[in-house]
Structure 1
Amino acid sequence: MTPPLTLSLVTLGVADVARATAFYEALGLTRAAASSDAVSFFNTGGPVLALYGRDALAEDARVSAAGSGFPGVTLAWNLGSPAEVDEAMIRCAAAGGALVKPACKAFWGGYSGYIADLDGHLWEIAHNPGFPVDAAGRLRAPEKPEG
């Protein structure tokens, strides 16, 4: 029997692997030894993050690399407090990321903002008081309603 779905790896198609690698290293990630000139791998608190050439990734999936606009996907970096969100937003901008939406109180009760990495991938940087982050930086959605 096949095990249940597990998000194990996220691959971002990028214009320049070396440039994108430097961006994510500036955010505190360390490139794994399994990396090469063509692909960078980073261990995170959850899935492995991979950076691979956008054209090569599209070719591998047998789709067009010419897509544009909002792809309907965002990635998220959840943190333990609004102050950590503000610090992360500043760090991302200093590394060359583009501020898309400044961090602010969110309609769902948390605090979040959006940045785009060097290739336009949207990252929500958020603090959600209802979804605790453990000491290793892993987020867990509550299994049962509070109360």
Structure 2
Amino acid sequence: MTMSGALPARMTMVTLGVADVARSTAFYEKLGWKKSSASNDSVTFFHMSGTKLGLFGRADLAKDADIENTETGFSGVTVAINFASEGEVDAAFDHAVSAGATPAKRPEKVFWGGYSGYFADPDGHLWELAHNPMAPLDEDGNMGLPE
């Protein structure tokens, strides 16, 4: 692919900086996610629909990005998984909590017309679980948005 002055509008991988790669890997495996055979002691990869998730040591990730490794609280970033119904959101939230997630906000009806809740993984990364009736999922579970 050649670049013609535009950055492709896609996300191929999300990498989370974690305190303990093994602990975080175990958490995501408890969610039922399967790690890639490309994983090793330093980094874990999970296949996701349409993208990949990487778990990498927080200090190593900061070093790789050439930034200072500070833990100042909320990073301003959340990762979301959308579902076809409110019931699916509730079931996914309960499953995440049973796998060791920390509930941040129980699922509820929200101001934008949908239904969502948040949990934190072992390193405090926030995951939103949502049902958005204005953006239905396709047969592959991808979120639809108007053009």
Q: Which of the numbers 20, 23, 30 marks the counterpart of 1:19?
A: 23
TM-score, length-normalised on structure 2? Answer: 0.92
Please list every run of at least 4 consecutive aligned residues from structure 1 whose deviation after the TM superposition is greater than 3 angstroms: none
Which residue of structure 2 aligns with residue 44 of structure 1? 48
Which residue of structure 2 aligns with residue 30 of structure 1? 34
2:122 is the alignment partner of 1:118: yes
2:91 is the alignment partner of 1:107: no
Which residue of structure 2 aligns with residue 96 of structure 1? 100
1:59-98 alignment, distance < 5 Å: 59-98=63-102
Name structure 1 gaps, 5 residues minimum: none
How many angstroms apart in 1 are the aligned matches of 2:131 and 2:67? 35
Residue by residue, what CA displacement relative to the aligned partner does 1:3-48 show, whole Å, maximum 9, x if unpaired? Answer: 5232111000001111111111111210011111111111101211
Which residue of structure 2 aligns with residue 135 of structure 1? 139
Q: How many residues align?
A: 143
CA RMSD of aligned residues (A): 1.2
TM-score, length-normalised on structure 1? Answer: 0.92
Q: How many percent identity over aligned positions?
A: 52
Residue by residue, what CA displacement relative to the aligned partner does 1:70-98 show, whole Å, maximum 9, x if unpaired? Answer: 11111101011000000011111111111
